Amino acid sequence: MSLALVEAIAGSERATIVARELGVADWSPLHDSNDFRLNTRYVLTAARNELFFWSHENVGIPVSPGVDEIALALVADAWSRTYRSQAFAVSNSQEPIATKRGLVLIPDYVAGVSKRLQRSLPPFGSEPSAHALDWALTQIADSYGPATAAFVALQMEYRQSGTDFAPRETDR
């Protein structure tokens, strides 16, 4: 949707440049939300994840100066949509951090100090911003199973090709 807005404001050429910078290979303003409908399978996944409250986790996402705030937002949003986890920014200190594009971020926790984090994610690397969502969905599938990753992808209206957790045609 953001790229469609860039296209409407700055034109097709600029939208294509921004997409390339973010690592988005294919995009179109013709996104069809009807491809992402909630069905019984997803409702059962959400209910199971919410009801098993004893398995809920606080997940730490490492941040440091220069962190890609778009990638961080995608990873934090994905993990916080599992109905099993809540994501938090974790740094080596409580000092404000300047992100890649100049946003100032105050970490939620200091690494190694808080006992409130049950899981710490590895750094998500230096790939283009948009690839962080694929990375997060893979981490979620490895941690909570492909059904939870599919549920997160559905909520974000994201189709990750080549995975077991992309919404399927039969899910319509």
pLDDT for 163: 54
- Name every residue whose Cβ is closer than 8 Å to that of residue 36 and which is 6 or more positions away in sequence: 154, 157, 167
- Name every residue whose Cβ is closer than 8 Å to that of residue 14 and which is 6 or more positions away in sequence: 6, 7
Question: Tokens in use for 117?
Answer: 């984090």
d(CA 83, CA 117): 16
E strands present in the chain: 57-62, 85-91, 97-98, 104-105, 109-110, 119-120
Residue 43, helix vs strand vs coil: helix
Burial per residue of 65-90, b for 16 or more beta-carbon CB atoms within 10 angstroms, e otherwise: eebbbbbbebbbebbebbbbbebbbb
pLDDT for 110: 92
pLDDT for 162: 56
pLDDT for 60: 94
The predicted model scores a pTM of: 0.83
Domains defined along the chain, listed by start: 1-31 (no CATH), 35-159 (3.40.50.880)
Q: How many Cβ atoms from other residues are within 10 Å of residue 42's Cβ?
A: 20
pLDDT for 2: 78
Q: Are 134 and 160 in contact (CB under 8 A)?
A: yes
pLDDT, mean of each 10-residue run, the chain (172 residues): 82 86 74 82 94 92 94 95 95 94 94 84 83 93 95 88 51 40
Backbone angles phi, psi at 12, to 5 degrees: -65, -40
Dihedral class, residue 157 (left if φ above 0, else alpha if ψ from -120 to 50, else beta): left
